[in-house]
Amino acid sequence: MIRRHPGLLLLPALVPTLLLLGAAVVTLGLQSLGLMPLVGAPRLSAEAFRSVTPDLATSVGLTLAIASAATALAAVVGLGTALLVTSSARSARVLGLAAAATVPIPHLVAAAAVGLLLADSGVLPRMLGLSAEQWPDLVAGPWWVAVVLEYAWKESAFVALVVGAALATRVARYDETAALLGAGRVHRLRHVTLPLAAPALLVASTISFVYVVGSYEVAWLLGRTYPEPLPVLAFRLFSSADLAARPEAAAVSVVTGLVAALVAVASLLLARWREQVRA
């Protein structure tokens, strides 16, 4: 039976994950609707959503902007790195090892390193001999530059590994065939390599986007105090000394989960549309 249905091998890991995820989603939903309060009697209410509405639109827009910019940069850098890693260049192995070494670094450690590098009194302005007044506000500035760069740096390594793994076993054979048929380097890149890399790039970019949408530590450490991205807003409300703010934190978390789910569904539909077009 397992031979006919190899997906059954995933059940020992899939079932506990779905149970934990389902319990978390149900708990957040109940808390956001006032049915599981920490204080007071349970009462069905949308008050938590109404309380966070004034900041919700700004937080959603800011979260999507940060995630879009970071994912776009990570996709471009990661794709370029994957192409170099799968090439026959001498530096390909060193580049691959550097990308692999970046992935295990926690985002909090990477955020601290980026902050020390890009702050107005950090390493980079000191190396360039610039004062704090001459250095732009990259950390906690109006454009969230440090946050975007940190996410792009970390996620580009992940994208490079995923795309590189997809290309490693396929691109050489197709590329050689296209070269024998007279295709030039640019044509092989456009019509062979990029189409082969596109599915893996889409999956890796979607995972990176969803991660950035739900991650709070980098924006909390390197970003401004206002406006706040969705995960930072949820974390601040959840850690508030006022227990009455817990349903508001749950409401923001529900909205964050819906945004991430919509992005994942849109990515899935895009992948299916691409397959239909190719067919």
> The tokens of 50 are what?
């109404």
H helices within 41-193, ranges in order? 47-85, 92-102, 107-118, 123-128, 145-168, 171-180, 185-188
User: 236: which residues sit within 8 A by CB, 6+ positions away?
Assistant: 228
Closest among 103, 80, 105 to 92, alpha carbons compared? 80
Dihedral sign (CA 176, 181, 186, 189)? negative
Q: In this structure, are residues 200 and 159 in contact, taking their beta carbons and an 8 Å threshold?
A: no
Give the pLDDT score at 84.
Answer: 85
What is d(CA 48, CA 26) in angstroms, rounded to the nearest whole number? Answer: 16
What are the two backbone dihedrals, phi and then psi, of residue 187, each rounded to the nearest 5 degrees?
Answer: -65, -40
> The tokens of 253 are what?
């978390």
Closest among 203, 206, 103, 192 to 163, alpha carbons compared? 203
Per-residue CA distances from 51 to 26, 28, 45 (Å): 21, 16, 11
By three-state DSSP, how is residue 132 classified? coil
Hey, what amino acid is at 10? L
The residues spanned by each domain of the chain are 58-278
CATH class of 58-278: mainly alpha
Mean pLDDT by 10 residues, the chain (279 residues): 66 86 90 86 90 93 97 96 78 75 91 94 92 92 95 95 86 67 74 87 96 95 94 94 88 95 94 80
What is d(CA 245, CA 159) in angstroms, rounded to the nearest whole number? Answer: 37
Closest among 148, 250, 154 to 207, alpha carbons compared? 154
CA-based max dimension of the chain: 75
